């Protein structure tokens, strides 16, 4: 909490504050006002020492009014060390001076020091007021010091401060940050009026710990919700993977005529990005234009990310070019977007443009441009950029950067080189990196290395469902059905479940989700009728199902049917029966699109004269006239 002078300053009405003993200077009121005025006009911490010297020469260095202002100004100008020295030379500091320094320490993130100073004040037999308590509770919450926070709470009860609204909210924050939700809820329930601020605090901390149901329950009890409260609900749902529900909350917010702010807009754009809800994202953009919401770094970056992740990379680029002021984050969003759409050359050119504009690339910038090199197969350039990180910019590669290089080598089939690269890294590989190499081994048919990588994952207890599935698939691809079955048995015994394939498509501002062989959709008869029509046309076109990608030892006809009912095909069929001819279809899939579906969608785009955009786990595929933008390299 950052106290303003009107709240704590002795000059602002706390005239009952007793002066300390010591030499009493002449013209105390006038001199005091003069020095306080000088301090309040300070713009930089370099101005403080000369004024402090004048204060000492005029014997005002023990005047509590002046010392208070000194401490406050030092804290605000990031000179907390200087403030601490001033305090240490102050005789018999009172509660106001203790509070000012505690507040400054907390403001400067010296939470432990702030807590210790509070205990020093208590040991000096000074009675803390509500401002001191709120400051130390903030320190306890930020430092996750639950034990000390409980002790302060006990003092609150003894001092009769438990009815103070600010203290109650800080107690909720303390317990919420520490995960002590029973205590947080008890304080919340004891409030005579659980206002929207306290409720929003509860909602935020429930979401922070994944307690979506509890957050929703609190939200539903609030009679009058402000913009901050609605935004907290939308943001929390997005952070917990409930983007569909987040958009529904946003629609309810609109029905209640509550005006969203900049943060709300960014949260909604994040939900659109996650779901691939381009139509709604476009509506948000028109809303921004209508209400003249500035296209600044914060909103502009979110807008670029939304268009990129929803499949409209051209519009993302237009937003980028429209922005009057750009920063590294803006460039990062655009580079990431290009990488996601396989526009490797454009991403590298933008990376070079960022440097030419005088910006210093960040760690995130390098993740984006190295990803682009990976998707484009640009090995030599990728390694050149990778080595420039430490050499030219002093950025030590992290696991994400190493992962891009392993992915790059794996995609090119340079598997042993990728494995050697992993063994020479300065950091330990994670399951994402090893999983990428395992996937490359499966694609390029290197079963021996796949087994080595899988054993490494299991040995370091980093194996997840993806590890077992990839290894099982590698065995199945080689016709080793017995070994594949053993892997799946081990997976079941470990209690690990396979992530189900799920695809979604946006039609008329609504998101429709499909699983493998889904029969839940109200228009399932029409969807499967369209699927059968397409299958017949595909056969006439000479299409033969790539049944080798069905990694189970079953009959050929069963394999063909298992391919036909993949979730992305059902989503595309729904799009075909629900939209006008020539409308672009945009599908989002949570897993990597298989080879057979990739081939099939190319043929469907040619047969229907539709552009079909599919976002899978790795990247975007733009299918048009029987060709995919990835060049069959993904």
- Mind listing the pLDDT tens digit for each residue in 500-516? 889 999 998 889 999 98
Span 550-578, mean pLDDT? Answer: 72
Distance CA 357, CA 132 (A): 47
Best CA proximity match to 349, nearest among 309, 376, 311: 376
The band of 553, judged by pLDDT with boundaries at 50, 70 and 90, is: very low
The band of 494, judged by pLDDT with boundaries at 50, 70 and 90, is: confident
Span 251-259, mean pLDDT? Answer: 93
Span 529-534, mean pLDDT? Answer: 93
Answer yes or no: is pLDDT of 27 > 90.
no
What's the pLDDT at 135? Answer: 95
Span 526-532, mean pLDDT? Answer: 94
**pLDDT digits 0-9 by tens, 196-214:** 999 999 999 999 999 999 9
Instruction: Report which secondary-structure segment, H or E, holds 510.
Output: strand 510-515
Spatial contact of 39 and 65, defined as CB atoms under 8 Å apart: no
What's the pLDDT at 563? Answer: 62
What's the pLDDT at 628? Answer: 93
**pLDDT digits 0-9 by tens, 347-379:** 999 999 999 999 999 999 999 999 999 999 999
Calculate helix-pair angle for 262-275, 227-239, nearest 10 degrees: 30
Q: Count other C-beta atoms under 10 Å from residue 535's C-beta.
A: 18
What's the pLDDT at 470? Answer: 72
Residues whose CB falls within 8 Å of the CB of residue 568, separated by 6 or more in sequence, listed in order: 503, 514, 587, 589, 593, 597, 601, 614
Q: Count other C-beta atoms under 10 Å from residue 487's C-beta.
A: 20
**pLDDT digits 0-9 by tens, 401-448:** 999 999 999 989 999 999 999 999 988 888 888 888 888 888 888 888
What's the pLDDT at 401? Answer: 96
According to the 3-state scheme, what is the secondary structure of 1-12? CCCCHHHHCHHH
The band of 623, judged by pLDDT with boundaries at 50, 70 and 90, is: very high
Quote the radius of gyration of the chain (alpha carbons, Å). Answer: 31
Distance CA 97, CA 112 (A): 18
Distance CA 2, CA 7 (A): 10
Best CA proximity match to 277, nearest among 288, 268, 266: 268
Answer yes or no: is pLDDT of 556 > 80.
no
Task: Map residue 360 onto helix, strand or coil.
Answer: coil
Span 321-345, mean pLDDT? Answer: 94
How many angstroms from the chain centroid is the CA of residue 349?
Answer: 27
Answer yes or no: is pLDDT of 537 > 60.
yes
Q: What is the largest CA-CA distance in the chain?
A: 105
What's the pLDDT at 561? Answer: 56
Span 55-77, mean pLDDT? Answer: 90
Answer yes or no: is pLDDT of 559 > 60.
no
Q: Which of 9-13, 217-221, 331-335, 618-622 has the lowest mean pLDDT?
A: 9-13
Q: In this structure, are strands 502-507 and 510-515 parallel, antiparallel, or unpaired?
A: antiparallel
What's the pLDDT at 460? Answer: 65
Spatial contact of 551 and 471, defined as CB atoms under 8 Å apart: no
β strands within 485-631, DSSP E: 502-507, 510-515, 585-589, 612-615, 620-624, 627-628
Residues whose CB falls within 8 Å of the CB of residue 119, separated by 6 or more in sequence, listed in order: none
Give percent above pLDDT 90 in the chain.
62
What's the pLDDT at 555? Answer: 45
Answer yes or no: is pLDDT of 125 > 60.
yes
**pLDDT digits 0-9 by tens, 296-305:** 888 999 999 9
Q: Phi then psi for 505, rounded to 5 degrees?
A: -140, 140
DSSP 549: G
Answer yes or no: is pLDDT of 488 > 90.
no
Q: ∠ CA(334), CA(339), CA(342), 5° rounding? A: 130
Spatial contact of 161 and 133, defined as CB atoms under 8 Å apart: yes
What tokens were used for 177? 């940050």
Of these ranges, 328-332, 444-448, 546-550, 563-567, the one predicted with the greatest mean pLDDT is 328-332
Q: Which of 306-320, 359-373, 536-550 has the lowest mean pLDDT?
A: 536-550
Span 134-143, mean pLDDT? Answer: 95
Task: Map residue 511 onto helix, strand or coil.
Answer: strand
The band of 461, judged by pLDDT with boundaries at 50, 70 and 90, is: low
Answer yes or no: is pLDDT of 331 > 50.
yes
What's the pLDDT at 15? Answer: 31
- Average pLDDT over the chain, rounded to an integer: 87
Task: Map residue 622 onto helix, strand or coil.
Answer: strand
More confident residue, 439 or 92: 92
The band of 451, judged by pLDDT with boundaries at 50, 70 and 90, is: confident
Give percent above pLDDT 70 in the chain.
91
13 sits in the region (left: phi over 0; alpha: psi -120 to 50; else beta) called left
Sign of the alpha-carbon dihedral angle for 476, 480, 484, 485: positive
Span 279-294, mean pLDDT? Answer: 89
H-state helical runs in 95-226: 95-107, 111-123, 130-142, 146-159, 165-177, 181-190, 196-208, 212-221
Instruction: Report which secondary-structure segment, H or E, holds 416.
Output: helix 415-423
Span 95-123, mean pLDDT? Answer: 94
Answer yes or no: is pLDDT of 527 > 70.
yes
Residues whose CB falls within 8 Å of the CB of residue 420, separated by 6 or more in sequence, listed in order: none
Q: In this structure, are strands 612-615 and 585-589 parallel, antiparallel, or unpaired?
A: parallel
Span 71-92, mean pLDDT? Answer: 91
The band of 19, judged by pLDDT with boundaries at 50, 70 and 90, is: very low
């Amino acid at each position: 909490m950052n106290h303003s002078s009107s709240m704590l300053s002795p000059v602002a009405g706390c005239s009952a504050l007793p002066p300390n003993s010591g030499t009493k200077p002449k013209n105390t009121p006038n001199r005091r006002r003069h020095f306080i005025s000088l301090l309040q006009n300070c713009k930089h911490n370099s101005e403080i020492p000369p004024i402090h010297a004048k204060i000492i020469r005029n014997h005002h260095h023990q005047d509590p009014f002046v010392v208070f202002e000194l401490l406050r100004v030092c804290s605000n100008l990031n000179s907390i060390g200087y403030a601490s020295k001033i305090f240490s030379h102050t005789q018999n500091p009172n509660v106001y001076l203790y509070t000012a320094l505690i507040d400054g320490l907390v403001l400067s993130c010296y939470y432990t020091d702030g807590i210790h100073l509070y205990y020093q004040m208590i040991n000096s037999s000074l009675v803390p007021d509500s401002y001191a308590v709120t400051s130390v509770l903030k320190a306890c919450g930020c430092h996750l010091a639950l034990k000390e926070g409980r002790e302060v709470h006990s003092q609150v009860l003894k001092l009769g401060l438990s009815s103070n609204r600010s203290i109650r909210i800080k107690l909720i924050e303390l317990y919420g940050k520490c995960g002590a939700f029973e205590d947080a809820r008890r304080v919340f329930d004891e409030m005579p009026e659980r206002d929207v601020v306290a409720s929003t605090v509860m909602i935020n901390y429930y979401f922070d710990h994944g307690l979506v149901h509890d957050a929703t329950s609190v939200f539903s009890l609030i009679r009058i919700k402000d913009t901050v409260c609605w935004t907290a609900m939308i943001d929390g749902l997005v952070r917990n993977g409930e983007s569909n529900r987040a958009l529904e909350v946003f629609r309810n917010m609109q029905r209640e005529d509550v005006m969203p702010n900049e943060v709300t807009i960014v949260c909604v754009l994040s939900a659109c990005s996650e779901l691939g809800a381009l139509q709604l994202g476009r509506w948000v953009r028109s809303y921004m234009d209508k209400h003249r919401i500035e296209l600044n770094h914060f909103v502009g970056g979110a807008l670029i990310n939304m268009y990129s992740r929803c499949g409209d990379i051209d519009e993302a680029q237009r937003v980028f070019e429209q922005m009057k002021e750009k920063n590294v984050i803006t460039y990062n969003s655009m580079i990431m977007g290009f990488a996601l759409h396989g526009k490797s050359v454009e991403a590298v050119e933008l990376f070079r443009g960022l440097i030419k504009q005088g910006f210093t690339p960040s760690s995130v910038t390098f993740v984006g441009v190295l990803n682009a090199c990976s998707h484009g197969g640009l090995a030599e350039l990728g390694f050149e950029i990778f080595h420039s990180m430490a050499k030219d910019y002093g950025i030590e590669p992290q696991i994400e950067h190493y992962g891009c290089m392993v992915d790059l080598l794996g995609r090119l089939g340079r598997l042993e080189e990728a494995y050697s690269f992993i063994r020479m890294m300065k950091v330990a590989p994670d399951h994402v990196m090893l999983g990428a190499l395992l996937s490359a081994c499966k694609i390029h048919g290197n079963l021996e290395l796949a087994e080595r990588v899988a054993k490494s994952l299991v040995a370091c207890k980093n194996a997840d469902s993806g590890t077992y599935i990839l290894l099982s698939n590698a065995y199945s691809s080689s016709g080793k059905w017995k070994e594949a079955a053993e892997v799946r048995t081990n997976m079941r015994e470990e209690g690990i479940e396979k992530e189900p394939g799920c695809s979604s498509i946006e039609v008329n501002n609504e998101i429709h989700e499909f699983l493998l062989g889904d029969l839940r959709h109200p228009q399932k008869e029409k969807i499967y009728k369209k699927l059968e029509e397409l299958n017949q046309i595909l056969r006439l076109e000479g299409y033969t199902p790539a049944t080798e990608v069905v990694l189970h030892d079953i009959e050929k006809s069963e394999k063909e049917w298992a391919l036909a009912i993949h979730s992305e095909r059902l989503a595309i069929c729904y799009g075909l029966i629900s939209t006008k001819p020539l409308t672009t279809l945009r599908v989002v899939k949570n897993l990597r699109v298989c080879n057979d579906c990739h081939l099939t969608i190319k043929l469907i785009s040619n047969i229907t004269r539709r552009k079909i955009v599919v976002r899978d786990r790795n990247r975007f595929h733009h299918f048009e006239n029987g060709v995919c933008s990835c060049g069959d390299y993904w």
